[in-house]
Amino acid sequence: MRWNVETRKSENILTHLLKLRGVESASDFLKPHSPYTLTAKEVGIDEAQLAKALVRIKKAIKNKETIVVYGDFDIDGVSATAIAWETLHELGAVVWPYIPDRKSEGYGFSSAGIKSVKEKYNPTLVITVDHGITASNFVMQLTDAGVDVIITDHHQAPNKSEVVKLCSHAIAVVHTTTLAGAGVSWFVSRQIDNLRDNPERLALAALGTIGDVLPLQGPNRQIVSHGLPLLSQSSRVGIRSLLQESGLLGTDLDPYHIGYILGPRINAAGRLGDALDALRLFCTKDERAAIAIAQKLASLNRKRQLLTNEQIDMSLEQLKGVKGMPPLLVIADSSYDEGIIGLIAGSLSRRFYRPTIVIAQNENGISKASARSIPGVDIIKLIRQVEDQLVNAGGHTMAAGFSVETGNISQVAEELIQKAVDQIDPELLERVLNIDLELNMEEITRDLLDKIEELKPFGTSNEKPIFSMNQIYLDDVRKIGKEGNHLKVKVNGIDAIGFSKAYMLEKIDVKEPVDIAFTLDLNKWNGNENLQLMIKDIKQG
């Protein structure tokens, strides 16, 4: 792994870290303004489109028209659906939530989904949340049937002509890539509700923003900084039941808790069950029902973990047959569960450090694919280069998905790999550890840790700072844990821990000086608080 160590930009370490993050106003970053002050311009939403959407929605509420909020099955989509449905419901609208089935309908609009919505609810207005920007043909299906459509979405638009086409059929297209789907839903819902502050909905916007891995700068930092504490204090019986089940009730939540504990439980509903269960959890006022759903999601998540591990093992076996290691990995098999192919792609992408596409092959029709990327490789841009051979495609720079006719999988895979060979700089496939600053031993203090804590919440585009020290000696070197796979050492009297890092001892001579990369942490034990280093990498000095 190559280290990229930033040069010191200021004698003040906090100032240096803020400059690295491109922060123009330290005060705004360290003490984010209330998200209730955000304007359409600040979040990248077209004011004219927003105004058209509000007029149509308020008309539908007043006239008691049937409205359907058409959402998505992941944590961002479910949060967005809950925000929009709850807002409209409380304002007296006749409104129904709809979340498509991942396996029979897939992401976003589909002919099957549209048919189901029309048969169940016969709406005059459909509002999308967390999808729709690529769905002009499906919007035409609805408008031809006399159903008005309002798009709210944050995914990348395929091209300007598609957006123009979409705007010519939809009542309004409320779109920005700045916010998460839940963030867009929250912003629009607040406009519908005459800018009334609602802490519970802001908490869901924060949940969706973190869950969808949005950059935690600008408006998203405002939403998360103010919304995440509200999630910890939520009065929703569903949220409290989920926190209780996961052992987090009473905890000051941070993005880690969302990404690795709560998020997987919420997403498990859409992966292996019914995403409406997650929506019901957010919206129910029945405590017994909430407890039952929280337990159900936990059970689904355990099942999901086992299945994911099994299929990752299967994918590794499949990759043994791949000649060389191309800059893009593409694998397909009928055994892959399309509910977890994104997780498999993510695991392989991290392991082999290259963009990866995993396809759940359907022998009788349309196959589903999920893609995950690495920094520097825009995966949706790559996929769109073969869009004429796909049924549909959508996503972001780092994560995307598409559907393809099963008979075309081999050709599409070959073309994508060739385009990757032609377009991806080999240097991008080399692991790089970005280090914020090289420190001297005397700079590692509790005061420094306190300064770093001011940068919270940490997340995408505001990662926890990584530091390095050079030419230091390790003391009291030990392997710990049941299997001896963790590493514990002392650095000038300070404990340093490396989880799953014991293998690093094989590449260094501990009697000689080393360079160490780490984050700063506080170890709390038996009422004592001590600084500790969390090891990221070690190499011979």
Q: Decide which of 184, 213, 242 is a domain's last residue.
A: 213
C-alpha dihedral (69, 72, 78, 84), degrees to nearest 10: -20
Q: Are 283 and 86 in contact (CB under 8 A)?
A: yes
461 & 499 share domain: yes
Q: Does residue 264 form part of some domain?
A: no
Mean pLDDT of 169-196: 98
- For residue 86, the number of C-alpha atoms closer than 13 Å in the C-beta half-sphere is 25
Q: CA neighbours within 13 Å on the CB side: how many for 526?
A: 0
Q: How crowded is residue 29: how many other Cβ atoms within 10 Å of its Cβ?
A: 19
Q: Which residues pair with 330 in a beta bridge?
A: 357
pLDDT in tens, 524-537: 888 889 999 999 99
Read off the pLDDT band of 324 (50, 70, 90).
confident
With bands split at pLDDT 50, 70 and 90, how would you rate the model's confidence at 400? very high
Q: Determine the distance from the C-alpha atom of residue 93 to the mean position of all C-alpha atoms in its chain, rounded to a whole number.
A: 31
For residues 130 and 198, state if they share a domain: yes
- In this structure, the answer to whether residues 401 and 536 fall within a common structural domain is no
Same domain, 15 and 116: no
Distance between CA atoms of residues 453 and 229, nearest Å: 15
Q: Are residue 437 and residue 409 in the same domain, yes or no?
A: no
pLDDT of residue 330: 97
Two tokens, residue 32: 């984010």
Judged by average pLDDT, the poorest of 37-46, 158-167, 216-225 is 158-167
Residues 158-182, buried b or exposed e (16+ Cβ, 10 A)?
beeeebeebbebbbbbbbbbbbbbb
Which of the listed residues 429, 448, 482 is the one where a domain comes to its end?
429
Q: What is the CATH number of the domain that holds 329?
A: 3.10.310.30
Q: Are residues 357 and 480 in the same domain?
A: no
In tens, the pLDDT along 39-63 reads 999 999 999 999 999 999 999 999 9
pLDDT digits (tens, 9 = 90+) for 82-118: 999 999 999 999 999 999 999 899 899 999 999 999 9
Indicate whether 327 and 460 sit together in one domain. Answer: no
- Residue 271 CA to residue 77 CA, distance in Å, equals 13
Task: In whole angstroms, give the CA distance from residue 304 to residue 271.
Answer: 8
**Tokens 């963009």 map to which residue?**
355
Tell me the C-alpha distance between 110 and 439, whole Å: 54
| Structural domains in the chain (count) | 3
> Which DSSP letter does residue 123 get?
-
- Distance between CA 63 and CA 411 in Å, rounded? 52
Is the pLDDT score of 322 beyond 90? no
Kindly indicate the confidence band of residue 160, based on its pLDDT and cuts at 50, 70 and 90. Answer: confident
- What are the backbone angles phi and psi of residue 475, rounded to the nearest 5°? -115, 160
502 found inside a domain: yes
The CB density around residue 369, as the number of other CB atoms within 10 Å, is 28
Block residue for tokens 């049924």: 391
Mean pLDDT of 18-30: 96
Does residue 524 or residue 437 have the better pLDDT? 437
- Residues 199, 95 within the same domain: yes
Provide the total of helices (H) and of strands (E) in the chain, helices listed first. Answer: 20, 19
In Å, how far are 56, 133, 318, 467, 540 from 50, measured between CA atoms?
10, 15, 48, 44, 57
Query: Is a pLDDT exceeding 90 seen at residue 158?
Result: no
Angle between helices 181-192 and 75-90 (to 10 degrees): 10
Is 522 within a domain? yes
In a domain? residue 300: no
Match 């600040």 to its residue by tokens.
Answer: 42
Return the CATH number at 447: 2.40.50.460
Segment 264-279, tens digit of pLDDT: 999 999 999 999 999 9
φ, ψ dihedrals at 201, nearest 5°: -75, -35
- List the domain range (segments joined by +) for residue 482: 2-25+432-540
Given 156, 182, 213, the domain boundary residue is 213
Tell whether 530 is covered by a domain. Answer: yes
Element (H or E) spanning 432, and its range?
strand 432-435
Residue 522's DSSP bridge partners are 531
In a domain, 278, yes or no: no
273 is a domain residue? no
Tell me whether residue 296 is in a domain: no
